[in-house]
A and B are shown apart, each in its own frame.
Chain A
């Protein structure tokens, strides 16, 4: 691969369309996008039923092992406020978390406000129904993808970083910071690392911590909750992993917008991607 030369325009000349994303990649991408959307919003609904996170097997009521609490409380001047208590430190989050004003102007005492949850009103039962329905779709898609990616070579070729990827890391980092993107068939090393992190670490961890909360699964594999630090720690990790996935989503969208949303969207919908002219000449 050649470095963009100094004489070249900042925006590389558009080259030919190449077939970048296979049907399997595109399908699994959109099924995950859809299921993660519903999993997130129904998950926040479920969290609202008991908006506190703990470390250990159980939830401390007579002792304190909470790491996070979200709630509403009375203020000394007889008002109300919403708060987030993280590791013993309280933050006022009125209007945002713990307490919010709904569309009808009614103040609701809820950890995550209605516009962040499915359904928008408090309904733990329906939150669970939606969550487990999409959890099954999500898990089956991940297993299907993993098998297909191993068989097709997608995993080895595009996901696992190779030695030359690692060596390119500093330059790739610098390119990203300057928002200078190379449009190639291959993923760059930061893409490989973040996709591997999401697909091989965060997503399996989400499923593992979810299963560790199931009393039925706990009877089948008590070691899972144990290695995760107990059921309530697993619940906390489930929540933190959610935050990391949301963080990935935000960066993912920013990168798509910065790298050229039309081209990126076309490749994840149709598979066809317009590579930089310089990249095509190499082929």
Chain B
């Protein structure tokens, strides 16, 4: 959904509130108070999402595993969503060369910044898991993911003690607006980053990760919704605060009103 489109709809809605009877436009009544960054909406989002985050962290901590499934449960190809074929020149060049020139940059609050090739990532200890991908839209799809646990990469880079979040910078442009190109980005906390099922996946259903599903490298955070699992990862940045990125909410969709904690 584009922001311009939404603003147009909002304008139309405001117009319709003024122009039609209360009976016909019953639910328009709440549009104004919930629009954009209204204080009411912010209050509701921070209260409920903060509560969900704290309660779920208490319940599942750092080690409760997401449900894993059997081979027989893989009944269909993994459904791709969002950007499925990045049009960016950098990406297309990397893809044309089968990602031989790809490097994952690991920086920020680490003692040893890294630049890892796909082969280097693939020679690190790997984890394979069959999990259910839950999209924020409501659908689910089961697939097998193979990749290097993010904790392995973080240990190699040695995370500094003041670090709190991991930010994933992506290669794909998700929005071309008046303010220029917006690239996808996401963030998770260190608890999820160090979770055993949190992997940087390069394989899917026993094959190389397809472009539509995020090649060469995508994130799996199995205890959260799909939009947290950034595709086409270019760089990992270890930070103490999310304010400096995008509109400061911790991710492309978070900047557009979605909750930062997507465990629910």
Contacts and interface: CB of A to CB of B under 8 A. Distances in A.
Contact of A120 (B6, B13, B66): B13
Contact of A47 (B34, B138, B222): B138
B44 interface: yes
B134 A215 contact: yes
The 10 closest A-B CB pairs, nearest first, are A216-B263, A62-B76, A125-B257, A59-B139, A50-B138, A103-B16, A133-B44, A216-B56, A50-B137, A121-B9
Given A125-B253, A125-B258, A136-B48, 18 more contacts: A46-B138, A49-B137, A50-B138, A58-B76, A58-B139, A59-B141, A60-B76, A61-B77, A121-B13, A125-B259, A130-B44, A214-B263, A215-B263, A217-B263, A218-B223, A219-B66, A220-B59, A231-B134
Nearest to B225: A215
Interface string A110-128: 0000111111111111101
Given A62-B77, A121-B13, A132-B49, A49 B136 contact: yes
B90 interface: no
Which of A106, A213, A214 has most chain B Cβ within 10 Å? Answer: A214
Question: Which residue among A46, A102, A218, A222 has the maximum number of chain B CB atoms within 10 Å of its CB?
Answer: A218
Nearest to B53: A216
Contacts of B225: 215
Nearest to B226: A215
A130 B29 CA distance: 14
B97 interface: no
Contacts of B67: 218-219, 222, 225
Contact of B31 (A46, A104, A119): A119
B263 A129 contact: no
A215 B223 contact: yes
A163 interface: no
Given A115-B26, A129-B48, A220-B60, A120 B31 contact: yes
Contacts of B15: 104
For chain B, the bracket of interface size reads 35 or more
24 contacts: A49-B136, A58-B132, A58-B139, A61-B76, A61-B139, A103-B25, A119-B35, A120-B25, A120-B30, A121-B6, A124-B136, A125-B253, A125-B258, A128-B259, A129-B34, A129-B259, A133-B47, A135-B48, A136-B47, A136-B52, A216-B264, A217-B56, A218-B66, A220-B56
B34 A126 contact: yes
Contacts of B64: 219-220
